[in-house]
Amino acid sequence: MQWHEENLAEDAPQTATAEDGVVRALSLANALLNRPGGLTREQIFDKIELYRERRDERDRLTGAQRQRADAALEKLFTHDKDHLRHCGIDLIEPTADEDYRYRISRSQYGLPDLDLTAAERSALYQAQLQFAQHTIAGLPHAVWAVDPHASEPAPPGAPQVTQASIGSAEEVDHLLEIARIGLRTPITFRYTARGRAQAETRRAVPLGTGARGHWYLLAHDLDRKAQRLYRLDRVSGTISTLPPSSLGEDEAATVEQIARAERYEDLDVAAELDRGVEGFTGHQVLEGALRAHQGEAPRTLPKLTRVTPGRRKDDAAAKTERVINMIALLLARGAVQPSELMEKYSLSPAQLLRDLLSISLVTTDQYPDTLDVQPFPPLNDEEFVTRYLAADEPIVLRSTGGGALDKPVSLTKPGALGLLIALQSLIELGLPEDEHIAAAAESLRTKVLAIVPATLAQTAASMSLGPGAGDRAALKEAQQAIIASHPVDLCYTDISDRRTTRVVDPVQVVHQGPHVYLRAWCRRAQGERFFRLDRITDLRPLPHEQQSEQGAQLRETGSSTPSAPADAAIPVVLRFSPSAAGQSVLFSPVRQQTDKTSGARIISTSFVTEEAVIGTCLRAGGDIEVIRPGGLRQAVAARALELVERSRP
């Protein structure tokens, strides 16, 4: 590691350090890869500084203190080995026949060559472009890892006909937790069902996953002794494996039957999702909205804090996997800008700085400067942002240790899942004329499933990403109009419950979060508009009319996404029930607060009209409640009461 004093100004104290667990694991991999004959445990502790310091400290102790220190050192070593295995690195435990040496075979290190065909390579980049506006964590790295020798794809001549972002980041995180555990293995999690005020513990055996706007888990509920469907944005906390010792005799027998596929053998996940993703009846929805808005709102509000984009907090194993793949990318590409690293790995500035510092400390005794990061980053978070990131100078990583870490070792779990979701979207959400792309995506998906962990492959193979049943007819008509470049006549109900008829030139289908939109040039509004498919009550193609000049120009412009209207002038404070808290992100919150006990969330935001607020709360069935202003809360209650009376059987 080269030290640059000028990178740390006198008035800028050190606020960033490398992460010891990542440094130890990577140094262990580097040491073993550079020594094909292997190393004993004591040789490893000699050559890697962070082990040597712990060992020397242990050796200064005696008696029980020494025993405890030795146990702590062994535990640390075991964790580091496990982290490398988590990355897919086959670290071989020693035996007497091998002189008690640990080994990593360089011939077995890294991802296998998938030998992509031209069609599969095209499908790979089509998948990346389809999610270009909505990056899945790790997807850009996964694309590079699968095809590391390919050049970056050229920008398409026209935007993708389909742009996708399926579910929220929080839902995908929960999906990843399920994928790490696998299907047909009992799990436990906290879940807030619709209409419930508190999260409850669920014990279930996963059977399949899929998306119908939101991500869902199809599972056998052990307490209800029946199949259930769980929406992943209503899961709170982490999803974890259920200990076998906690199962009763009958429950253990049920789990065993499910594991052996003696139950749910012919389960059709897509059909079960279509059947199970249903809301309340109209009357029940209105009654729920009325109950939520009866009575006075709270006189005081909790302190709301400004909303900042959240990022996944990786554990030590995930960090190790990410950094070891980042090393391979830097060594393979020669120079990579910090902004590209942040995009590829979905990193905050603070985490990128810590990753670079961890890389710079990967050493063994014979190569004290094994990996040299240039330019070396400042050790202060603020300076890293204002100087290093602002300059965005390409980072060069020089290896003086033989290039042992120069191959992508894995797709990373988030990246593998993201890639499989993207390929599945090409297969299930593609256009009718793109059957050849779907076939290539299916072929590539099969290859990827063969190189990812079995639990992740099992979960991904069960996925169903089809559009909601209510959207399919309009989606098919819209896709055909886009292909043929002709306008459509549609009837549309906007968020303020205003019904209009208009002619539009559709140019793109956009899957964003739980909704599907038609991006189009609206001839009535004379501008680009996004129309939610579930709000289109009638869509009639106009095959004998030509696409407008403005529509043709919009088709050639870069993709954009639905966003909150700039003229939203009605400020409101809304409360989302615990089961609906995950939906608050769809309403562009400015400030928010989440109740740590119940999981309910309060946000401040703005709407275009008061009617839009009233309609939103009525359709939410009590899951969204107006807190401020009081007059608007009363208006929701009055409208709900009026409609309840009308809808009584």
For 447-464, the pLDDT digits (tens) are: 999 988 889 898 888 888
3-state secondary structure 183-243: CCCCEEEEECCCCCCCCEEEEEEEEEEEEECEEEEEEEECCCCEEEEEEHHHEEEEEEECC
Q: What is residue 195's predicted lDDT score, i.e. its pLDDT?
A: 65
Section 613-633 average pLDDT: 90
Alpha helices in 346-471 (DSSP H): 349-360, 381-383, 390-391, 413-429, 435-449, 454-461
Q: What is residue 303's predicted lDDT score, i.e. its pLDDT?
A: 86
- Split at pLDDT 50, 70, 90, the class of 523 is very high
**At residue 158, does pLDDT exceed 60?**
no
- Split at pLDDT 50, 70, 90, the class of 608 is confident
- Split at pLDDT 50, 70, 90, the class of 162 is low
- Split at pLDDT 50, 70, 90, the class of 221 is very high
- Split at pLDDT 50, 70, 90, the class of 537 is confident
Q: What is residue 155's predicted lDDT score, i.e. its pLDDT?
A: 44
- Split at pLDDT 50, 70, 90, the class of 279 is low
Q: What is residue 622's predicted lDDT score, i.e. its pLDDT?
A: 86
- Split at pLDDT 50, 70, 90, the class of 479 is confident
Q: What is residue 343's predicted lDDT score, i.e. its pLDDT?
A: 82
High-pLDDT (> 90) share of the chain, %: 33
DSSP assignment of 547-582? PPHHHHHHHHSPP------TT--EEEEEEE-GGGGG
618 vs 472 pLDDT, higher one: 618
Q: What is residue 371's predicted lDDT score, i.e. its pLDDT?
A: 81
Q: What is residue 439's predicted lDDT score, i.e. its pLDDT?
A: 92
Section 395-422 average pLDDT: 81
Section 312-335 average pLDDT: 83
- Split at pLDDT 50, 70, 90, the class of 3 is very low
Mean pLDDT across the chain, nearest whole number?
Answer: 84
**At residue 299, does pLDDT exceed 60?**
yes
Q: Where are the domains of the chain?
A: 5-109+363-399, 118-165+417-449, 469-556
Six-digit token pair at 477? 């008509």
pLDDT in tens, 224-269: 999 999 989 888 888 999 999 999 999 999 999 999 989 998 889 8
Q: What is residue 165's predicted lDDT score, i.e. its pLDDT?
A: 62
pTM passes above 0.95: no
Section 571-578 average pLDDT: 90
Q: What is residue 554's predicted lDDT score, i.e. its pLDDT?
A: 85
Cα–Cα distance, 507 to 484 (Å, whole number): 10
Q: What is residue 4's predicted lDDT score, i.e. its pLDDT?
A: 45
CATH class of 469-556: mainly beta
pLDDT in tens, 173-185: 899 899 989 999 9
- Split at pLDDT 50, 70, 90, the class of 427 is confident
Q: What is residue 164's predicted lDDT score, i.e. its pLDDT?
A: 57
525 φ, ψ (degrees, to nearest 5): -85, -10
Q: Under 8 Å CB-to-CB from 613, ≥6 apart: which residues?
A: 570, 572, 607, 626, 632, 636
In sequence order, the β-bridge partners of residue 492 are: 500, 536
3-state secondary structure 294-343: CCCCCCCCCCCEECCCCCCCCCHHHHHHHHHHHHHHHHHHCCECHHHHHH
Residue appearing with tokens 């400042």: 378
602 φ, ψ (degrees, to nearest 5): -110, 135
Q: What is residue 6's predicted lDDT score, i.e. its pLDDT?
A: 47
Q: What is residue 314's predicted lDDT score, i.e. its pLDDT?
A: 66
Q: What is residue 467's predicted lDDT score, i.e. its pLDDT?
A: 67
For residue 339, CA distances in Å to 17, 388, 412 come to 20, 10, 20
**At residue 561, does pLDDT exceed 80?**
no
Omega within 30 of 0 (cis) for the link into 649: no
- Split at pLDDT 50, 70, 90, the class of 122 is confident
High-pLDDT (> 70) share of the chain, %: 87
Q: Under 8 Å CB-to-CB from 90, ≥6 apart: which residues?
A: 104, 105, 108, 109
Section 391-414 average pLDDT: 82
519 vs 157 pLDDT, higher one: 519
Cα–Cα distance, 122 to 66 (Å, whole number): 59
Q: Under 8 Å CB-to-CB from 97, ≥6 apart: which residues?
A: none
